Chains A and B, each alone.
Chain A
Amino acid sequence: MVTASETPTSVSGSVVRRCARAILTRAVRRGAARGGVWGEAVLAEMEEARTDVEAIRWAAGGLWVSWRERTGRVGIVAAVFGWLFGGGWIRRLAVVAVLLVGLALLIHQFVLTVVYVPSVTMEPGVRAGDRVLVDRVGFRLTGLDVGDTIVVSPMGSGYTLRVVGLPGDELACRDGKLFRNGSPANEPYLAADTTTECQAVAVPDGHVYLLGDNRASARDSRVDGPMAEDKVAGRVVTRVSAAD
């Protein structure tokens, strides 16, 4: 057992360094007395690292070395990288360009996309003919909230509606106003003279209640009932271009 009274060059060291060494030791030896030659070789050099940052970087590389040694995958990753980026600068540029385009397409398909809104359901905020930027991932992480404008699947239809009720909410309409759990809903996005007519409803688990801002002409949850949350295709982030 090493004690703190020994010199700084002992097997002790800072907490960071001890953690880095412990993680690498575990990865290399996996409970055995000794691991593979190359993993052990990296581990044996841990004491040489002068700073904590160096120790962490050394250990991180060691994890990779140990993994490669154990799986025998001597270079699938390295071979692919070598093939992709090993050529001259023209090829490297071409590879990077192709990867960037691919990434952009993936992002456009799965993360952020622009859709054309054909319907009047969300006037006056979003008018028929507008294009809106739609987030397809973030809302799944943060969850939907009252007031969010969402796009109803299938994607590309651009059919947008607003979330006015979450699971467990009790909704009702009185005197042309929407009430949520007994209090009047704050709906600053409505045109001034809007009146809302609806049947009282309790939103079931896993569903959201949707209304178009254009209450008079929107086909929404008043007709179709609360919508299952997994049918939500995306959340509108902002309007990117207005109808002509």
Chain B
Amino acid sequence: MPRTPNSSPQTLSVLAALLAEPSRWRHGYELSKETGLASGSLYPILMRLTQQGMLEAEWQSPVAPGRPARHAYRLTSGGVALARTRLAERDRHSAPAQARPAMRVAW
């Protein structure tokens, strides 16, 4: 069965976090906290989504002297559409999976 791109649970959790406030620029660290993904898992996903044009990235100038410029991300319009589609698919698929244990009990 061919796998749908951008449908892994990790990618979905990133999309969900970004879709919560689609207009706000988000930083890697807070996304990591929100999704529970380590930097080594999170950034490759951000890299891929950016390459695919689902995400736009920009360097934000430092908030205080001595602090580094930070890289920030938000979904493009294509990204918003993708996130909605994938998350809806997930919810459709997870519903029957939750019903299964109940059926076993019924046997």
Name A's B-contacting residues (CB within 8 A). 2, 6, 10-11, 37-38, 40-45, 47-49, 57-58, 60-65, 68-69, 74-75, 78, 82, 86
With both beta carbons as reference points, the residue of chain B lying nearest to A69 in the complex is identified as B47
Least distance between A13 CB and chain B CB atoms (Å):
12
Choice from A10, A40, A62, A69 contacting B71 with Cβ under 8 Å: A40
Given known pairs A2-B66, A74-B48, A86-B3, the reply for A41 and B43 (CB within 8 Å) is yes
- Other than A78-B44, A86-B8, give 9 A-B pairs with Cβ distance below 8 A: A38-B46, A41-B43, A41-B46, A43-B68, A44-B71, A45-B32, A61-B38, A61-B39, A68-B47
Chain A residue numbers with a CB within 8 Å of B68 are 43-44, 47
A38→B47 contact, CB < 8 A: yes
Name B's A-contacting residues (CB within 8 A). 3, 8, 27-30, 32, 38-44, 46-48, 57, 66-71
A62→B69 contact, CB < 8 A: no
Q: How far is the CA of A42 from the CA of B28 in the complex (A)?
A: 7
Q: How far is the CA of A48 from the CA of B26 in the complex (A)?
A: 13
Q: What would 30 A/B residue contacts be, using CB atoms closer than 8 Å? A: A6-B66, A10-B66, A38-B43, A38-B46, A41-B46, A42-B39, A43-B68, A45-B27, A45-B28, A45-B70, A48-B30, A57-B38, A58-B29, A58-B38, A58-B39, A60-B38, A60-B39, A60-B40, A61-B38, A61-B40, A61-B41, A61-B43, A64-B39, A65-B39, A65-B47, A69-B47, A75-B44, A82-B3, A82-B8, A86-B8
Least distance between A65 CB and chain B CB atoms (Å):
4
A44→B39 contact, CB < 8 A: no
Given known pairs A48-B29, A49-B29, A57-B39, the reply for A41 and B71 (CB within 8 Å) is yes
Binding site secondary structure of chain A:
helix
Least distance between B18 CB and chain A CB atoms (Å):
15
With both beta carbons as reference points, the residue of chain A lying nearest to B72 in the complex is identified as A41
A37→B66 contact, CB < 8 A: no
With both beta carbons as reference points, the residue of chain B lying nearest to A68 in the complex is identified as B44
Chain A residue numbers with a CB within 8 Å of B66 are 2, 6, 10-11
